[in-house]
Amino acid sequence: MSKTPELIVNDLRVAVEGKEILKGLSLQVAKGEIHALMGPNGSGKSTLANTLMGHPRYEVTGGEILFKGLSILEMEADERSRAGLFMAFQYPVAIPGLSVANFLRSALNARLVRPETNGSGTMPQKKGIAPREFRALLKGQMALLKMDESFATRYLNDGFSGGEKKRAEILQMALLKPEIAIMDETDSGLDIDALRVVSDGVNALAGPDLGVLVITHYQRILNYIKPHRVHVMVDGRISVSGGPELALELETRGYDWVRNGKEVTAP
């Protein structure tokens, strides 16, 4: 069955502090699909992730990003999130004093409490999630991810180990239920434990209602996550796309092989 992919990136050009990093990148991710985006350091992978999520430092100089058929270029990060986009951070930021539970409840409520409009005017505001209901929901999700309950009372990412940070990202993803998730795992600060957390999480959440774009430098995360499509990014563009076997080929032959301009056709 063919349908319009939820995320469509067309000829995207992005500059950071005046320097062009993405130079006409195109990519499509639909719900139910897992895509892997690979590339050498400096190819612009993290720039793509941050631009998709709306980081103000990244300036879109050309092209378009459509999410569920609408351009999101003018939307702030919070609006994009509420629309159903998610990014798992490579380096999640610590917010001392803000507990994981309070943070997650605020994030959920931000989705629920917004006033909504229909043809006849403004509808009454929806109520936020009740504390008891929230606790039950959080407890359930944490159990699924094998997280200790005490985790909820800790300050967000404050003093978390690498693995704990990743777990927290997955927990957020599980609760916020995005339609498209971008996993920015570019650099390999990940130990095996953290790698497993991410891949187990993605595998647990993947399904017909979620599209995933895994951004990675190394092939090894793809030992745990089986992508439907693999894209290789070089110098701000996607230079090759293919099936899962492309990742393996990259692992043995290195990025130079793509850089040299060899074309590969997807089976």
Partner 1 sequence: MTTEPTTTVGIRDGYAEKYGFHDDEQHVFKSKMGLTPEIVAQISDMKGEPKWMRDYRLKALEIFEKKPMPTWGGNVGEIDFKNIYYYVKPTSQETKSWDDVPADMKRTFDKLGIPEAEQKFLSGVGAQYDSEVVYHKIKESLEKQGVIFLSCDHGLKEHEELFKQYFGTVIPSSDNKFAALNSAVWSGGSFIYVPKGVKVDVPLQAYFRINTKDMGQFERTLIIVDEGAYVHYVEGCTAPVYSSDSLHSAVVEIIVKAGGRCRYTTIQNWSNNVYNLVTKRALAYRDATMEWVDGNLGSKLTMKYPSVYMMEPGAHGEILSIAFAGRGQHQDAGGKVVHCAPHTTSKIISKSISKDGGRAGYRGLVKVQKGATDCRSNVNCDALLLDEASRSDTYPYMEIEEDRVSIGHEATVSKIGDEQLFYLMSRGISKDDAAAMIVSGFIEPIVKELPMEYAVEMNRLIQLQMEGSVG
Binding site for partner 1 (CB under 8 A): 53-57, 76-78, 80-82, 86-87, 89, 92-93, 95-98, 102-103, 106-107, 110-111, 155-156, 172, 176
Structure tokens at 142: 């944490």
Beta carbon nearer to partner 1, 112 or 192? 112
Tell me the backbone φ, ψ of residue 223, rounded to 5 degrees.
Answer: -75, -20
Beta carbon nearer to partner 1, 107 or 144? 107
Strands 7-16 and 19-29: antiparallel
Strand partners, 13: 23, 62
The helix/strand/coil state of 111 is: helix
CA–CA dist 65, 10 (Å, integer)? 6
Q: Please state the closest distance from residue 62 (CB atom) to partner 1, in A.
A: 23
Beta carbon nearer to partner 1, 49 or 264? 49
Beta carbon nearer to partner 1, 108 or 250? 108
Beta carbon nearer to partner 1, 84 or 227? 84
Q: Please state the closest distance from residue 4 (CB atom) to partner 1, in A.
A: 24
Q: Please state the closest distance from residue 59 (CB atom) to partner 1, in A.
A: 14
Amino acid at 143: A
Beta carbon nearer to partner 1, 95 or 251? 95
Q: Please state the closest distance from residue 85 (CB atom) to partner 1, in A.
A: 9
Tell me the backbone φ, ψ of residue 29, rounded to 5 degrees.
Answer: -130, 125
Helices (H) and strands (E) in the chain, counts: 8, 12
Q: Please state the closest distance from residue 7 (CB atom) to partner 1, in A.
A: 15
Q: Please state the closest distance from residue 243 (CB atom) to partner 1, in A.
A: 31
> C-alpha angle with apex 127: 124 to 128, nearest 5 degrees?
145
* Structure-derived torsion over alpha carbons of residues 79, 83, 87, 88, reported in degrees to the nearest 10: 110
Beta-carbon contacts of 148 under 8 Å, excluding residues fewer than 6 positions away, are: 142
CB 210 within 8 A of CB 32: yes
